[in-house]
Amino acid sequence: MGVTVVMERANVNTLGEAVKKETVYRAHQLNVWYGEHHALKNINLSFYENEITAIIGPSGCGKSTYIKTLNRMIELSPNVRITGEVTYRGRNIFDRSYHVEQLRTNVGMVFQKPNPFPKSIYDNVAYGPRIHGIRNKSVLDEIVEKSLRAAALWDEVKDRLHEHAHALSGGQQQRLCIARCLAVEPDVILMDEPTSALDPISTAKIEELMQQLKEQYSIIIVTHNMQQAARISDKTAFFLNGEVIEYGDTQQLFSNPRDQRTEDYISGRFG
């Protein structure tokens, strides 16, 4: 039985001053079962504003289950049972009175495989705002441009906005999915291995983009790539067999892990 170690250090700005960051998400004694399978065990973990948090761990350790819990996509899986609490901005997302639509507006998600809708580039980005009732063409044009610029795709697509999204490269499609997510002005972006299907150049672009996006958004990324976690994240959580083994500042976790199992994993001894 593993021990859940939750270490939280003060956030420090570039001048070395401690700064208080707002807690965006807090999981408290969270357990998830798929039928009889206990996939997440007593998770206690917080995520903070304007940070990138990486979730790492070997295949099957519960990373995807965890981020799917954060936007309640987990409820789409059959025979799921959840106990404990997840608060988003202070409210328990499993409260009966909590509207899942509101949560999904605030919390965007980018998946492993780019999944643009079978529509034009423009219509992909305008989709969410239209669902929210925005019909005015010039307002939509503005949102589309702003979102594509924020996703570092505008220059590449501004002359072909009405082409089919599937005509874009994989890396461009993934940035389009990020633009689609930004168009509804989320607060948090969940990313489930967003670069694992991409080449190194597209991966570098997405990583650079994430550094810009964290100025405005809180990002939680699941990644198998430990170099990527070390390069881009502020905090890292290491999951193993459904438990959080270690959580802390990325630099500290990679250079001086507290738990032997973290050390074994990051040094490639298993997983």
Binding site residues, ligand ATP, CB under 6 A: 34, 37, 39, 57, 59-65, 77
Instruction: Compare residues 67 and 148 and give the one whose CB is closer to ligand ATP.
Output: 67
Distance CA 170, CA 124 (A): 15
- Shortest separation between residue 101's beta carbon and ligand ATP, angstroms: 23
**Which is closer to ligand ATP, CB of 27 or CB of 39?**
39
Q: By C-beta, is 62 or 257 nearer to ligand ATP?
A: 62
Phi and psi angles of residue 170, each rounded to the nearest 5 degrees, phi first = -60, -45
Give the nearest distance from C-beta 11 to ligand ATP in angstroms: 27
Contact 271, 89 (CB under 8 A): no
Shortest gap between Cβ of 239 and ligand ATP (angstroms)? 7
User: Least distance in Å: CB of 61 to ligand ATP?
Assistant: 4
In the bound state with ligand ATP, the residue whose beta carbon lies nearer, of 26 and 63, is 63
Q: Which is nearer to ligand ATP, 58 or 170 (CB)?
A: 58
Give residue 22's Cα distance to chain centre: 17
| Shortest distance in whole angstroms from residue 186 CB to ligand ATP | 22
> Nearest approach, Cβ of 192 to ligand ATP (angstroms)?
8
Q: Which is nearer to ligand ATP, 9 or 37 (CB)?
A: 37
